[in-house]
């Protein structure tokens, strides 16, 4: 049997636009000989629709679009994701659903069974889980239709979250093919995790698996595609590309196999950032971006991602030297701009800084300069960048990395100003890794930018490691504390310096208030700040 997979990029809430993409993909796959076409999870509404489902007309309009698609589909079935009403009177008012549409037949509906409520997911807020699973028969072929989490049974998760196993229940009833409509967000290493999981499920149910995943960025989340078709022995029949739309027909009976291709980690992260940035801007109605260039590696990588995502003609850089800026602050920024082909302007802040200090001198008196003056420079730069953003219509991108954001080494209303935090989920050492990948063929990010010691340049001869532990050590401890959720005591027991660990843990905890006010950041690790990590600001727990 030939199955068409429509790995498409949907926009949350663009019901008619999404329907158009679905029909275009359907017609393309049918033209290639598909006997059935599969789309991703909630392909009509986009994923995740979140509280849009509570708007008075949203669910009905999504049902109207479903009816419209049903009227356009021919004899070849289309499997499409949508939001269904729960009329049972029990539980939340909706179902996360899939419909099998085909001419001359009433839609056959499947409801999602396993609803994730961990990390970035909150589906139990909206949906009622299905209590039963049954195959759907199309022209004598018995399909098991599952939706995303339904296939992530307890054998493949870090903890036993579910007592039910939809693929196993479907296999007990006899199926020929297991379909999965997915909207599985990316984090580094996720495509390989999915492949390993699907191979186990295929060997357990002993039938081919057709796994169709979304691609594109929706707010903080990035969906990577990487759809897969596996045979009943768990071998890969087809692997779809990452981070790009793709419509392809796969013959389940051709007997073809291929090795699973694992992407280069830095390349994968760069493509995720590029996809997330491109879609965030375009889906929010922006066409261009603005980046404050410091001559440092964080702003350089952010600008490189922006140029790749939007085209260099749609990116503007601004360098804002002060009396503490090194010569490389401007020259490295200008070299980067030339290499990327982006516009670069210089706005010196020394006079503005002196003016602010003069204005505040009656209040500050003879107190020595300290953090207040350092933050003042960052906030002057923030005012300049936001003014340019307002005047020219560019979306301002913040440039802070995860290591800095974790311990609060950033200035609220200063370098944190902006509409999207592109690299806020990249630890500092990952920033270096990805920057080296950017320069794999030729110098894009100036090597001087990569090689010099990181510095905020807010006071004479300042270096980041004057205030922070060495980044390799900081990142290792942060991974254990933030991503692995180990206690400070657990980390110390692994041989790390106790004073350093407790300082880092305290900085993470007391800077929660800053992160609550930060621009949304693109998620590329397994535990990002934001919706996947919800910590209170006012709290006194110390482990």
- C-beta of residue 250 within 8 angstroms of C-beta of residue 36: no
Taking CA atoms, 527 is separated from 76, 265, 485, 521, 524, in Å, by 41, 17, 9, 12, 8
Which one of 21, 108, 123, 148 is the catalytic residue? Answer: 148
- C-beta of residue 186 within 8 angstroms of C-beta of residue 269: no
Dist CA 36 CA 246 (whole Å) = 16
User: What are the strands of the beta sheet with 228-230, ordered from one edge?
Assistant: 136-138, 141-147, 177-182, 209-213, 228-230, 236-239
Which one of 21, 108, 112, 410 is the catalytic residue? Answer: 112
Q: What is the CA radius of gyration of the chain?
A: 25
Within its chain, how far is the Cα of 447 from the centroid? 28
User: Which residues are registered as beta bridge partners of 242?
Assistant: 225
Mapped onto helix, strand or coil, the DSSP state of residue 529 is coil
User: What are the strands of the beta sheet with 420-421, ordered from one edge?
Assistant: 343-346, 315-319, 289-293, 395-398, 420-421
- C-beta of residue 192 within 8 angstroms of C-beta of residue 228: no
> Measuring CA to CA, which residue among 322, 321, 331, 299 is closest to residue 397?
299
- C-beta of residue 293 within 8 angstroms of C-beta of residue 303: yes
Dist CA 257 CA 440 (whole Å) = 31
Whether 112 is catalytic is: yes
Whether 410 is catalytic is: no
Whether 2 is catalytic is: no
What burial letters (b/e) apply to 482-511, b meaning 16+ CB within 10 Å?
bbeebebeebbeeebeeebbbbbbebbbeb
Dist CA 59 CA 95 (whole Å) = 11
Q: Residue 107 gets which letter from DSSP?
A: P
3-state SS, 188-229, equals CCHHHHHHHHHHHHHHHHCCCEEEEECEEEECCEEEEECCEE
Which one of 41, 123, 374, 479 is the catalytic residue? Answer: 41
- C-beta of residue 207 within 8 angstroms of C-beta of residue 177: yes
> Measuring CA to CA, which residue among 383, 373, 459 is closest to residue 414?
383
Per DSSP, helices labelled H in 53-164 are 58-72
Task: Return the active site residues.
Answer: 41, 112, 148
């Amino acid at each position: 049997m030939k199955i068409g997979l429509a790995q498409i990029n949907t926009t949350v809430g663009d019901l008619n636009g999404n329907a158009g993409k679905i029909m275009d993909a359907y017609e393309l796959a049918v033209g290639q000989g598909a006997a059935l076409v599969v789309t991703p999870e909630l392909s009509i509404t986009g994923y995740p629709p979140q509280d849009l489902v509570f708007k008075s007309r949203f669910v009905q309009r999504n049902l109207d679009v479903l009816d419209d698609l049903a009227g356009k589909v021919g004899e070849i079935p289309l499997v499409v994701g949508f939001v269904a009403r729960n009329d049972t009177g029990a539980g939340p008012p909706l179902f996360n659903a899939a419909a099998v549409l085909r001419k001359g037949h009433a839609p056959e509906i499947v409801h999602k069974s396993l609803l994730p409520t961990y990390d970035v997911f909150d589906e139990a807020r909206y949906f009622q889980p299905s209590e039963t699973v049954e195959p759907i028969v199309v022209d004598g072929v018995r399909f098991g239709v599952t939706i995303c989490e339904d296939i992530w049974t307890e054998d493949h998760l870090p903890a036993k979250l579910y007592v039910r196993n939809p693929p196993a229940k479907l296999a007990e009833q006899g199926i020929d093919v297991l379909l999965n409509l997915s909207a599985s967000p990316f984090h580094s290493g996720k495509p390989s995790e999915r492949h390993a999981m699907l191979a186990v499920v295929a060997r357990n149910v002993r039938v081919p698996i057709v796994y169709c995943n979304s691609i594109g960025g929706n707010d903080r989340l990035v969906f990577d595609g990487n759809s897969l078709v596996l045979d009943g022995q768990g071998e890969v029949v087809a692997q779809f590309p990452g981070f790009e739309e793709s419509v392809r027909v796969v013959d389940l009976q051709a007997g073809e196999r291929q090795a699973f291709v694992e992407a280069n980690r830095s390349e994968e992260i760069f493509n995720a950032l590029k996809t997330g940035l491109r879609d965030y801007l375009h889906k929010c109605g922006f066409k261009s971006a603005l980046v404050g260039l410091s001559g440092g590696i964080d702003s350089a990588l952010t600008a490189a991602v922006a140029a790749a995502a939007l085209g260099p003609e749609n990116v503007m850089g601004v360098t804002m030297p002060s009396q503490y800026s090194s010569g490389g602050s401007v020259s490295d920024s200008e070299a980067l701009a030339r290499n990327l082909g982006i516009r670069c302007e210089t706005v010196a802040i020394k006079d503005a800084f002196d003016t602010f200090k003069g204005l505040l001198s009656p209040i500050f008196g003879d107190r020595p300069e300290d953090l207040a003056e350092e933050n003042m420079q960052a906030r002057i730069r923030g005012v300049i960048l936001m003014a340019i953003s307002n005047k020219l219509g560019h979306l301002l991108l913040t440039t802070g990395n995860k290591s800095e954001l974790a311990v609060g080494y950033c200035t609220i209303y200063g370098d944190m100003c902006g509409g999207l935090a592109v690299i806020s989920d990249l630890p500092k050492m990952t920033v270096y890794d990805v920057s080296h990948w950017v320069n794999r063929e030729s110098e894009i990010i100036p090597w001087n930018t990569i090689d010099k010691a990181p510095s905020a340049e807010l006071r004479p001869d300042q270096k980041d490691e004057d205030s922070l532990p060495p980044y390799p050590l900081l990142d290792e401890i942060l991974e254990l504390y933030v991503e692995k959720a180990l206690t400070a005591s657990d980390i110390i027991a692994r041989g790390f310096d106790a004073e350093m660990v407790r300082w880092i843990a305290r900085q993470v905890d007391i800077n929660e208030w800053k992160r609550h006010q930060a621009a949304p950041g693109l998620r590329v690790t397994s535990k990002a700040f934001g919706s996947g990590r919800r910590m209170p600001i006012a709290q006194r727990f110390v482990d």
